[in-house]
Amino acid sequence: MNDRLQNFDAGTGKVENLSSAGREIQDALNLSFAEHAHDFPDRCGMMDGGCGIVAEALVSALPSSTLAGWWKDGALQHVMCRTGELYADADGLSTAEDVRVRMAFETGAGQGYLFPVTRRDMQRAGIPMRPDLSTVIADELLDRVAIAVGLDAFEAQMRETCECPELSVNRSLTAPEVPAFFLSPLSLD
């Protein structure tokens, strides 16, 4: 597995995903956030308070995954979805090293670590949870990925990138895939 799946620009705080699966996750979540920004508590973003909502959406979309968090000085700083040895959040797919680099930038100097997270941990840390919104975002994530590349292709990308042959997407959240001829431009000649 690669040590890095992202390029992080500390000058701008922008993340470039090096995997196609990471780009698909990031792009789909950015669209969902644009549509639902007003639904996030206290107008937080996906990476500044809304991370728990996004992480729960990703765990719902990828049932073999779990919640994980970046802890620093005994306090939960950020919540993500752990899939195999990789982590997913609004910035796409990350290795542990990618997370460490981003979190050092976000939370400042000092030692931090990745560790499993429970909903109770999120509650204690004051990280907002909205299961209703997480379900909507999970559904939209998979629908957008289905339209962009197809669920089978996305599932294969995730399996390869995460090196998890058992990984699957939660197809019960998605509408049936649209046949290609419905997506083709119509000629009115």
Rounded distance between C-alpha atoms, residue 33 and residue 17, angstroms: 18
pLDDT in tens, 64-91: 899 999 999 889 999 999 998 999 999 9
pLDDT in tens, 150-169: 888 888 888 888 888 888 88
- Percentage of the chain lying above the pLDDT 70 cut: 86
Per-residue burial over 47-61, b if 16 or more Cβ lie within 10 Å, else e, is: bebbbbbbbbbbbbb
Burial zone of 96 (CB within 10 Å; 0-12 exposed, 13-18 middle, 19+ buried): middle
pLDDT score of 136 more than 60: yes
- The predicted pLDDT at position 184 comes to 45
Helix (H) / strand (E) element for 69: namely strand 66-72
Is the distance from CB of 34 to CB of 20 less than 8 angstroms?
Answer: no
Mean pLDDT of 20-46: 84
- The predicted pLDDT at position 106 comes to 84
Question: What is this structure's pTM?
Answer: 0.84
